[in-house]
Amino acid sequence: MMRAFRNLVAVFFLAGWVAPASALKIEITQGQVKATPIAITSFYSSSSSQKGKELADIITYDLKTSGLFEPINPAAFVQDPAALQQGPRFADWRILNAQCLLCGTVEESGGQIKVQFRLFDVFKGEQLLGLELKVDSAKWRRLAHMIADEVYKRITGEEGYFNTKLAFIDESGPKGKGRVRRLSIMDYDGADVQSLTTGKDMVLTPRFAPNNRQIAFLSYEQGTPQVFLYNLDNKSQKLLHTFEGYSMSFAPRFSPDSNEIVMSLQQGGSSAIYVMNLQTKKLTNLTAHDAVTSAASHHIDTSPCFSPDGSQIVFTSDRGGMENLYVMDRGGANPHRISFGQGKYSQPVWSPRGDLIAFTKSYQGTFYIGVMRPDGSDERTIAYGYMVEAPIWSANGRVLMYAKEERKGRAQLFAIDLTGRYEHKIKTPREASDGAWSQLLNKSASDTKEIPPAA
């Protein structure tokens, strides 16, 4: 039943080195050569606190799951965190073939936690990066994700994506009618899971606002699918709007400025794409069809998504006889088809970089996650399976998260790099579907300053 409804809704880097090791620069838009060996030590603390090891464990997880780094087993380390306070003995780390070394200190006092860390080029024996970060003690896990982002950025030249939140549908109970689905949220590494809905009503397709303050989602609270908004600031939810004359609203996404929602509304046998201003409640039909009273003329337009500059919208439509991807101007003008391969296309989502559109495609009983350029060129698939669907981009536009379910298996979330060479399972407490990815969390809660190389 759920797959049938999902079909209705869908229808209505690894790369390697490009320079010598001493340059420590990774290009992440082409194929893989080899992940970078990195030594990540526990952060030294003068107390008996385990925070230093816990920070290192989180950073290790983040960098390893990117596929661009290969953390070295700490059991092989010769120099311990205390000895590193006098400076690295680079010869000891070269023996381990570590190309990078990450170490630091952690202190807790006055309700705050402060970390100083340094990233070294082992072969050149030089400091690449040194920073001091400070946050409230309750937010200490964010420090680890922020450090991982800084390391990722220094080595790849791209923004990281670890200091983010993931929304998803937490699924439990027997398959079928008794299934419980809750809207939940967690950190990138699966920690700090919070349920935002009770599970009383079925929920689907969460979508973060670009400002990270709201989540739009589909709920059956009123008996039929309708778009709701969850406010992350005050932990409340409300119906987006009562759309008189329409049987359901679905497939919501925010505009880049978070001030509008683009979605599908169903009337009779047709669905069209509308945009609503969240302040004025003005509703505009972007894909109106003529003669909708004729069964033969019914059309399904759905799954709209803004381009990152807000000037265009990509969507799914069966106006040509089969579900394909179309792009139109912001106001609905100039709709034109961009997908021309075999199979049915759905669930398009524009990369935050603007360079690619990800999508789901079904063909001969197999589902695919693919990408193409906004003009439809350079189409390629990066994942496939019995049931894969609902791609969503990371904040830096270099990783995709999607849902996967094997035959008679568990529903899981996975992330895969743009080349399709490195995939990993997202940690969730139970079965999970319909993932959504926030933008990078605001760093205003932290104090940050650079640390110069040691004399």
Surface-to-core class of residue 119, CB atoms within 10 Å of its CB (0-12 exposed, 13-18 middle, 19+ buried): buried
Q: Determine what percent of the chain is predicted with pLDDT higher than 90.
A: 80
> Are 108 and 252 contained in the same domain?
no
Residue 20 has pLDDT above 60, yes or no: no
> Are 176 and 131 contained in the same domain?
no
> Are 377 and 399 contained in the same domain?
yes
Residue pair 415/403 in contact (Cβ under 8 Å)? The answer is: no
Sheet holding 236-239, edge to edge: 203-208, 214-219, 226-231, 236-239
Tell me whether residue 233 is in a domain: yes
Average pLDDT over residues 419-426: 93
What are the φ/ψ torsions at residue 66 (nearest 5 degrees)? -70, -20
> Are 154 and 210 contained in the same domain?
no
Residue 26 has pLDDT above 90, yes or no: no
pLDDT reported for residue 184: 98
Q: pLDDT-derived band of residue 449, with 50, 70 and 90 as boundaries?
A: confident
pLDDT digits 0-9 by tens, 127-169: 999 999 999 999 999 999 999 999 999 999 999 999 999 999 9
Look up the CATH number of the domain holding residue 103: 3.40.50.10070
> Are 327 and 187 contained in the same domain?
yes
Surface-to-core class of residue 421, CB atoms within 10 Å of its CB (0-12 exposed, 13-18 middle, 19+ buried): middle
Tell me whether residue 3 is in a domain: no
Q: pLDDT-derived band of residue 33, with 50, 70 and 90 as boundaries?
A: low
Domain count for the chain: 2
Degrees, nearest 5: CA angle 209-67-71? 120
Report the relative pairing of strands 126-136 and 447-450 from DSSP bridges.
antiparallel
> Are 310 and 182 contained in the same domain?
yes
Residue pair 132/451 in contact (Cβ under 8 Å)? The answer is: yes
What are the φ/ψ torsions at residue 92 (nearest 5 degrees)? -65, -35
Average pLDDT over residues 417-421: 92
- Residue 257 or residue 3, greater confidence: 257
Q: pLDDT-derived band of residue 12, with 50, 70 and 90 as boundaries?
A: very low
> Are 218 and 110 contained in the same domain?
no
Average pLDDT over residues 50-59: 96
What is the 3-class SS of the chain, one letter each residue? CHHHHHHHHHHCCCCCECCCHHHCCECCCCCCCCCEEEEECCCECCCCCCHHHHHHHHHHHHHHHCCCEEECCHHHCCCCCCHHHHCCCHHHHHHCCCCEEEEEEEEEECCEEEEEEEEEECCCCEEEEEEEEEEEHHHHHHHHHHHHHHHHHHHHCCCCCCCCEEEEEEEECCCCCCCEEEEEEEECCCCCCEECCCCCCCEEEEEECCCCCEEEEEECCCCCCEEEEEECCCCEEEECCCCCCCCEEEEEEECCCCCEEEEEEEECCEEEEEEEECCCCCEEECCCCCCCCCHHHCCEEEEEEECCCCCEEEEEECCCCCCEEEEEECCCCCCEECCCCCCEEEEEEECCCCCCEEEEEEECCEEEEEEECCCCCCCEEEEEECEEEEEEECCCCCEEEEEEECCCCCEEEEEEECCCCCEEECCCCCEEEEEEECCCCCHHHCEEEECCCCC
Tell me whether residue 8 is in a domain: no
Residue pair 434/168 in contact (Cβ under 8 Å)? The answer is: yes
pLDDT reported for residue 22: 37
Tokens of 145: 């994700």
Residue 267 has pLDDT above 50, yes or no: yes
> Are 65 and 141 contained in the same domain?
yes
Tell me whether residue 4 is in a domain: no
Tokens of 436: 């959504």
Tokens 């302040």 belong to 279
Which of 142, 159, 176 delimits the end of a domain?
Answer: 159
Residue pair 252/237 in contact (Cβ under 8 Å)? The answer is: no
Tell me whether residue 16 is in a domain: no
Tell me whether residue 246 is in a domain: yes
pLDDT reported for residue 112: 93
What are the φ/ψ torsions at residue 156 (nearest 5 degrees)? -100, -20
User: Model pTM?
Assistant: 0.90
pLDDT reported for residue 293: 39
pLDDT reported for residue 176: 77
- Residue 212 or residue 453, greater confidence: 212
Question: If you average pLDDT over every residue of the chain, what do you get?
Answer: 90
Residue pair 143/58 in contact (Cβ under 8 Å)? The answer is: no
> Are 79 and 153 contained in the same domain?
yes
Q: pLDDT-derived band of residue 194, with 50, 70 and 90 as boundaries?
A: very high
> Are 94 and 212 contained in the same domain?
no
Q: pLDDT-derived band of residue 268, with 50, 70 and 90 as boundaries?
A: confident
Sign, Cα dihedral of 329, 360, 212, 439:
negative
Residue pair 281/268 in contact (Cβ under 8 Å)? The answer is: no
Q: pLDDT-derived band of residue 232, with 50, 70 and 90 as boundaries?
A: very high
Name 86's Cβ contacts closer than 8 Å, sequence gap at least 6: none
pLDDT reported for residue 32: 53
Residue 73 has pLDDT above 90, yes or no: yes
Which of 143, 159, 175 delimits the end of a domain?
Answer: 159
pLDDT reported for residue 290: 45
Q: pLDDT-derived band of residue 359, with 50, 70 and 90 as boundaries?
A: very high
Tell me whether residue 11 is in a domain: no
pLDDT digits 0-9 by tens, 90-109: 999 999 999 999 999 999 99
Tokens 């935050």 belong to 352
> Are 122 and 238 contained in the same domain?
no
Any idea how long the chain is? Answer: 455
Question: Residue 245: which domain range?
Answer: 167-443
Average pLDDT over residues 10-14: 33
Look up the CATH number of the domain holding residue 425: 2.120.10.30
Residue 251 has pLDDT above 60, yes or no: yes
Residue 119 has pLDDT above 90, yes or no: yes
Which of 101, 133, 159 delimits the end of a domain?
Answer: 159
Tell me whether residue 276 is in a domain: yes
> Are 153 and 171 contained in the same domain?
no
Degrees, nearest 5: CA angle 128-444-413? 80
Average pLDDT over residues 249-274: 95
